Structure 1
Amino acid sequence: MTKSSATPFDTFKQQLRRFIDEVVIPRETWRSETHEQAQTTARYLQQQALAIGLGAPQAEKAIGGLGLNWEQSCEIMEIAGRSYLGPVALQCAPPIQPDSFVLEKLVNSGQRRLYLQPLLEGKRLSCFAMTEPAPGAGSDPQMLASRARRAGNEWVLDGHKWFITGAGQADFAIVVARTEEGVSWFLVDTDNPGFKLIRDIPTMEPFDMGGHGEIILENCHVPAQALLGEPGKGLDYAQWRLEGARLFHCMRFIGLASRAMDLAQHYVMHREAQGRLLGEHQLVQGIIADAHIKLYAARMMTRDVSKRLDQGLSIRHHSSMAKVYVAEAVYQVADSAVQLCGALGVSEDLPLSSILRMLRPFRIYDGASEVHRAAIGRRVLHKGLSA
């Protein structure tokens, strides 16, 4: 592309890439940071990003966001996703982005002032509390066990939640509980006496802002206005949220897998074996070619779903297909990068093993691949969809 043909958006992407490579990636520490240190890093990077006009991709321009649509966000989030700190710097790391996406649809004026606006401005943090230990809701939200009952002008919530991303640093939670009308959503401040964060559950991931909390809701009183949206509509709301969340995960993890392959390509063009560079061996070239094919397909699927979302179309079927493919493709690419780098790939001298561990859970989070495959097949057969 010539300089004269570059669009303002192209220039913006180049600026973001420099920011990620020169400011964000050098501050990565993976396992060594405490949550307090991570928050300090997050605030620093957010300030640096805002100072050069890199606000939250989908937040309104009036509050410092970029006001991008979903298709534009795909390109931005792939670049930001080259570092696990990139989405943090742009104030759209999960769960904040999918939470704000669905809150935009549901909040009343009071909830907007107390919850959504501070969330978009980076002044408050959220978490989404739906998943429960067995026999409660996991991949099947119909198994939801948490309850909410009316008590005068209040609601009283009781339940047990776990693997709640970001719970360790959240100021409020979107709690999913069963009411007489059906599954409903509630806004609960985390300093509520009935809201107890029990622990941060350790996982294989080398880093995750806010951890994965285990929560007990015990006689948790909230005002009537804590009800979010309409009672009994919670499963519909969850689908809205998850569709957007899956798409954002796909975007950022494509970026992380792409970075892993870049590191491997650099290695094979400098490491010799059997008298020539590793990159000159056809088998190595084939592994790299397969990785690029997977990333290209993953990128195109994600962008197609984003276009559908921008057009106001239902993406339930297409987002499931994209989520399954991208979750498996990015892990396979990262695994190939580790293999190409040999012992160095499994060491901590490169971030490849950390990237691999970070990508693996995506095949479970936001719906296990097996659950999505079953739903895809069921829709195809029941609706007579053509391939």
Structure 2
Amino acid sequence: MTRGQEIAAKVEAFVREQIVPYERDPRCGDHGPSDALVQEMRGLARAAGVLTPHILPDGDHLTHRETADVLRASGLSPLGPLAVNVMAPDEGNMYLLGKKASPELKERFLKPLVSGEARSAFFMTEPAMDGGGEGGGGGGAGSDPSMMRTTAVRDGNHWVINGRKTFITGADGAKVGIVMAKADEGASMFLVDLPDPAIRIERVLDTIDSSMPGGHSVVTIDNLRVPADQMLGDPGDGFKLAQVRLAPARLTHCMRWHGACARAHEIATDYANRRHAFGKPLVDHEGVGFMLAENLIDLKQAELMIDWCADVLDTGVLGTVESSMAKVAVSEALMRIADRCVQVMGATGVSGDTIVEQVFREIRAFRIYDGPTEVHKWSLAKKVKRDWKAAQAA
């Protein structure tokens, strides 16, 4: 058994035995579990020795391939990644700070994240600007971050940031913020303590998913003053730093939700073997049995795609193309799995009696988060064209 598999086995046992019972806890609301519940579960994880399991005591990370085993195990409950501190956006933010922050910034901003005492938010996505609303047709930095309008202006030894952000996961209740804003030199990143009166949450959006504490907020940034030494990297490094974070973060989303779909498949399988109709168990009806068989195929293909991309990232390359391919393949496969689980379970599948209904909602959102399927396909199509042109010129 590899190091990653050993840690994953401990995480799986912890999630199944201690976290699954929390799934019916009334502190799980429409905008995610409460921070009190998160801290309670993290206390159990700390006692069990599985808190922040992807980061070793010396501060080093597991390999991406080892992380895949661990995060799949954490995802066996929608609450599992929160409990063991591998949930988005914190996991991606910890990865970025671990790779690119100075020792001083690590001590101040990374340490409380690794310890599980604080949550974080990544302020990048922006609303469309036409009419000032989220539904307008004008530009907004979402799938196309180059359209960013939030500004950062030097003022002595500070930067002053102004703008609006939307769909900022976990902003409500976060203690650490990473803010993307456009300086004269280009997009830049800033680390900030939260809450800050200059960062005002306009509202927490009602969304289809409900697994992330704090939900997803629309935020106004009004004359936020950030000391110059809280910039991550140099002015204009924002997009380069974002790529360090985004490709692995796409893949860790795949890992966690793979675990969620594996659990949903377990529940649907149990249901189909216990439930009888027309004189025999549901699983013996081809229409049902074949759906579960197709789930096995999609689960394995998604697992292999995750492991392949993890191996690529472990070579040290950015893996932008590979992570786009994995994100499309895995999110679409997991959507098929979640949909089949609901269908196999019928009315029970759309009820809150099991987590299958929640997994279906979470996976539907996943097809949009960290880049919609269509944007990744468009990016891959541009690569196909570039490669064709290069071949013609050779």
TM-score, length-normalised on structure 1? 0.93
Distance (whole Å) between structure 1 residues aligned to residue 65 and residue 107 of structure 2? 28
Structure 1 match to 2:16: 21
Secondary structure of the structure 2 residue equivalent to 1:221 = strand
Residue 61 of structure 1 aligns with an amino acid whose one-letter code is P
Pair 338,36 (structure 1): closer, same or farther in 2 beyond 3 Å? closer
Indicate the residue corresponding to 1:52 in structure 2.
Answer: 48
- Matches of 2:248 and 2:4 in 1, distance apart? 23
Alignment coverage as a number of residue pairs: 379
> 1:30, 1:354 within 8 Å by CA — same for their partners in 2?
no
Q: How far apart are 1:38 and its partner, in Å?
A: 2.3
Corresponding residue for residue 172 of structure 1: 176
Paired letter, 1:47: G
| Whole-angstrom CA distance in 2 between matches of 1:323 and 1:12 | 24
Q: Does 1:381 align with 2:385?
A: yes
CA deviations 1:283-314 (Å, max 9, x no partner) are: 22211111111111111010111111112123
The answer for the alignment partner of 1:111 in structure 2 is: 105
User: Among 51, 73, 82, which residue is 1:79 paired with?
Assistant: 73
Q: Which residue of 2 aligns with 1:3?
A: none
Would you say 1:337 and 2:332 are equivalent positions?
no
**Contact 2:4 2:69 (8 Å CA) reproduced:** no
Q: Hey, what's the Cα distance between the residues in 1 that align with 2:347 and 2:327?
A: 31
Runs of 4+ in 1 over 4 A off after TM superposition: 6-12, 34-37
Q: 1:90 aligns with which of 84, 100, 105?
A: 84
In structure 1, what residue type is equivalent to 2:23?
A: E
The CA distance in 2 between the partners of 1:127 and 1:287, in whole Å, is 38
1:115 aligned partner, one-letter code: F
Structure 1 contact 30–206 (Cα < 8 Å) conserved: no
Partner of residue 357, structure 1? 361
Question: How far apart, CA to CA, are the structure 2 residues paired with 1:306 and 1:32?
Answer: 35
* 5+ residue gaps, structure 2: 129-138
Distance 1:308 1:7 in 2: 19
The one-letter code of the counterpart of 2:379 is A
Aligned to 1:239: 243
Residue 196 to residue 263, structure 1, CA distance change in 2 (3 Å):
same
Query: Hey, what does 1:40 align to over in structure 2?
Result: 36
Structure 2 equivalent of residue 129 of structure 1? 123
Q: Do the aligned partners of 1:129 and 1:161 also contact (CA within 8 Å) in 2? A: yes
Is 1:293 aligned to residue 293 of structure 2?
A: no
Question: Residues 319, 8 of structure 1: CA spacing in aligned structure 2 closer, same or farther, 3 A cutoff?
Answer: closer
Would the aligned equivalents of 1:170 and 1:190 in 2 still touch at CA under 8 Å?
yes
Deviation sequence 1:196-234 (CA, Å, 0-9, x none): 122211101133212111111111111111211111121
Matched residue SS, 1:205 = coil
Distance in 1 separating the partners of 2:384 and 2:206: 38
Is 1:267–2:261 an aligned residue pair? Answer: no
Distance in 1, matches of 2:65 and 2:148, equals: 33
Contact 2:247 2:319 (C-alpha < 8 Å) held by counterparts: yes
Q: Is the 8 A contact 1:164 1:212 kept in 2?
A: yes
What SS does the aligned partner of 1:174 have?
Answer: strand
Q: 1:10 to 1:378 in 2, by over 3 A?
A: closer
Structure 1 stretches of 5 or more lacking a match? 1-5
Retained in 1: the 8 A contact 2:272–2:281?
Answer: yes
- Residue 187 of structure 2 is aligned to residue 191 of structure 1: no
Counterparts of 1:166 and 1:271, CA distance in 2: 39
Deviation at 1:165, TM superposition (A): 0.6
Name whichever of 204-213 and 130-139 sits farther off: 204-213
Aligned partners of 2:368, 2:4: CA distance in 1, in Å?
34
Question: Quick check: 1:49–1:89 contact (8 Å CA) kept in 2?
Answer: yes
Distance 2:116 2:3 in 1: 26
The structural deviation recorded for 1:12 is 4.2
**Cα separation, 1, equivalents of 2:44 and 2:261:** 25
Write the deviation string for residues 2-56 of structure 1: whole angstroms up to 9, x where unpaired. xxxx667655433322211111010113775357962222212212122222131
Alpha-carbon deviation of 1:383? 2.1
2:261 corresponds, among 254, 257, 275, to 257
> Does the alignment pair 1:230 with 2:219?
no
Q: Within 2, Cα distance between the matches of 1:54 and 1:29?
A: 22
